[in-house]
């Protein structure tokens, strides 16, 4: 039986709904979400939306969230899965060498992985998306494809142990299949 702990990757400007919906769904399913970030401190989340009449994303401050652990202190073997949240944070935190180490581990051992929106920038930078089908927000399509991934414009894309959605609007589509993978992994039926 594997751990019930699941990493949620955040940084400043992580999208609030991208993060909080899976966080509470994990708790409902008997998992312990563990928020990991560059440092163990409080992070400011944001709300993202393309307003009617706008062609770019508008951003507002959302709730804040405390990181339970710094990337440098994560022992990835202790976790059942990982979630890459969206927002602007992935653009900045993807260069953290410990986050790259953590990311590569989950892909190498095929533990359940979920990604939404800009979250794709982390596994793309870590060199983990080559040949993998993923959903992401259309403006991150380049990041995925230039790193060898395959962009799919659907609310839920499942590629082996990787489940992805485009934006928080897809939360109701991709989070449940990811949690099912975690449950299967926990019982050893994955």
Residues annotated as catalytic (active site), given as ranges: 118
For 12, residues 6+ apart whose C-beta sits below 8 A from its C-beta are 43, 44, 89, 92
Nearest CA to 46 out of 57, 38, 37 is that of 57
The answer to whether 161 and 112 are in contact (CB under 8 A) is yes
Q: How far apart are CA 122 and CA 89, in angstroms?
A: 10
Look up tokens 């230039």; give the residue.
146
Contact at 8 Å (CB) between 33 and 186?
no
3-state secondary structure of 120: helix
Using alpha carbons, list the distances in angstroms from residue 149 to 85, 92, 127, 146, 173.
Answer: 18, 20, 10, 7, 21
Q: What is the DSSP letter of 58?
A: E
């Amino acid at each position: 039986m594997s751990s019930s702990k699941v990493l949620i990757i955040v940084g400043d400007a992580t999208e609030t709904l991208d993060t909080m919906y899976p966080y509470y769904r994990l708790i409902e399913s008997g998992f312990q979400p563990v928020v990991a970030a560059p440092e163990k401190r409080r992070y400011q989340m944001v709300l993202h939306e393309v307003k009617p009449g706008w062609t770019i994303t508008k951003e507002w401050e959302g709730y804040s969230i405390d990181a339970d652990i710094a990337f440098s202190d994560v022992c990835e073997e202790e976790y059942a899965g990982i979630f890459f949240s969206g927002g602007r944070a992935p653009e900045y935190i993807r260069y953290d060498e410990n986050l790259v180490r953590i990311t590569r581990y989950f892909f190498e051992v095929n533990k359940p992985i979920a990604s939404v929106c800009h979250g794709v920038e982390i596994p793309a930078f870590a060199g983990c998306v080559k040949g993998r089908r993923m959903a992401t927000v259309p403006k991150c399509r380049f990041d995925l494809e230039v790193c060898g991934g395959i962009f799919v414009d659907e609310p839920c894309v499942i590629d082996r142990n990787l489940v992805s959605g485009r934006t928080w609007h897809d939360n109701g589509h991709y989070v449940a299949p990811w949690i099912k993978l975690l449950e299967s992994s926990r019982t050893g039926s994955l």
